[in-house]
Amino acid sequence: MSLSAWQQPLFARTVAAFRSHRLGHAQLLQGEAHLGKLALAQALAKRLLCQQAGDAEAACGVCTACQRFEQGSHGDFRQIGIELNEKTGKLKTVIGVDQIRDMLEWLALTAQLAGPRVVIIETAHRLNPHAANALLKTLEEPMPGRYLFLVTDQPKALPATVRSRCQRIEMACPDTATALAWLKQNRVPEADAKALLDMAGGNPGLALSWAGSGGSALYQEVRADLAACVKNQTGPAAIARKWLADESTDLRLLFAAQIGYGLARTWAAQAAGGAKRPQAVERLKEWIDGINRLRLSLSQPLRHDLGLAGRMLEWRQLLQDFR
């Protein structure tokens, strides 16, 4: 697996710190979801464990350590996170203190391959208070040759005492050109990539997950529904029923709001051209707020059809008044 253009510099920097013995006991790898933080942590773990990398940046890929890592059987590597509750068959909601105690006991044992031992803690913000406390002890008294990667998209949910004892690896969204190039590599049609990336706030991983789950088609459908509403081809109530009928309601509303933002930007740019434009932009912003409020209320057991049909009616009126 190759690293993306935004993972690679973080990989290089961390490996350089490791080679010059500056890599701390614990790394907090943080950044938005979907950017590939876990994959980066795994690539780093493999490199740290590699027996033949020497001064090279990359893991060799052929030594015993690399082979075992690839097979998921390296005795000096562990990845922990949210576990399945065997009684209920559902995922637990927190990482418990027993998991951390087990891991720390294991971490203190002699390494099987005489190299380092590496642990990845996935969704580290889910450590419960007891687990975080148990972890804190090892962060305060680091063991040589032992490396922890705490991976999280919600670093603020971790106790400040834990955060302050970690070195930080911060993964940010790449620039637009890099993100678009990456989406193209991942076979997202160019016609959709820009719109999906905008809606994902510049997060290419999130855009890709939407593209993969039919997001492009859904986006086009939302556009078409909004246009049909303005032309009186589809009624507001029919669109509301359709949008609320399956699990994609939230994403449809998000797309609708983003289409609204796009139009507001276009109208604002044209504001100088017509006296009615500023008023139109104001009304459009109110409409977007209404859509966003509706999105937030989706989790509540209310009837949403009347509210959404009302928004669709406003949309039709707005576009007929100002187009």
Residue among 63 and 143 whose Cβ is closer to Zn ion: 63
Segment interacting with Zn ion, rule: CB under 5 A, options 46-54, 119-127, 158-166, 195-203? 46-54
As a whole number of angstroms, the distance between CA 143 and CA 138 comes to 7
Residue 27 beta carbon to Zn ion: minimum distance, rounded to whole angstroms: 20
Residue 2 beta carbon to Zn ion: minimum distance, rounded to whole angstroms: 16
Binding residues with Zn ion: total (CB under 5 A): 6
Residue 77 beta carbon to Zn ion: minimum distance, rounded to whole angstroms: 13
- For every residue of 269-308, DSSP letters joined together read HTGGG-TTHHHHHHHHHHHHHHHHHHHHHTTSSS--HHHH
Residue 71 beta carbon to Zn ion: minimum distance, rounded to whole angstroms: 13
As a whole number of angstroms, the distance between CA 78 and CA 157 comes to 23
As a whole number of angstroms, the distance between CA 206 and CA 219 comes to 14
> Both tokens of residue 70?
């690839």
> Which residues ranging from 184 to 203 are in contact with Zn ion (CB under 5 A)?
none
Mode of pairing for the β-strands spanning 167-171 and 26-31: parallel
Residue 69 beta carbon to Zn ion: minimum distance, rounded to whole angstroms: 8
Q: How many CB atoms lie within 10 A of CB 163?
A: 19
Residue 63 touching Zn ion (CB under 5 A): yes
Residue 58 touching Zn ion (CB under 5 A): no
Residue among 63 and 181 whose Cβ is closer to Zn ion: 63
Return the amino acid letter for 93.
Answer: T
> Both tokens of residue 186?
């991942």
Residue 118 beta carbon to Zn ion: minimum distance, rounded to whole angstroms: 13
Residue 60 touching Zn ion (CB under 5 A): yes
> Which residues ranging from 80 to 139 are in contact with Zn ion (CB under 5 A)?
none
Select from 40, 41, 45, 50 the one that contacts Zn ion (CB under 5 A). 50
Residue among 48 and 179 whose Cβ is closer to Zn ion: 48
**Up-side HSE of residue 83: CA atoms within 13 Å toward CB?**
12
Helices (H), 143-246: 160-163, 176-185, 190-199, 204-212, 215-230, 236-244
Q: How many CB atoms lie within 10 A of CB 166?
A: 21
Residue 66 touching Zn ion (CB under 5 A): yes
Segment interacting with Zn ion, rule: CB under 5 A, options 19-27, 32-40, 62-70, 212-220? 62-70
By CB under 5 A, name the binding residues for Zn ion: 50, 52, 59-60, 63, 66
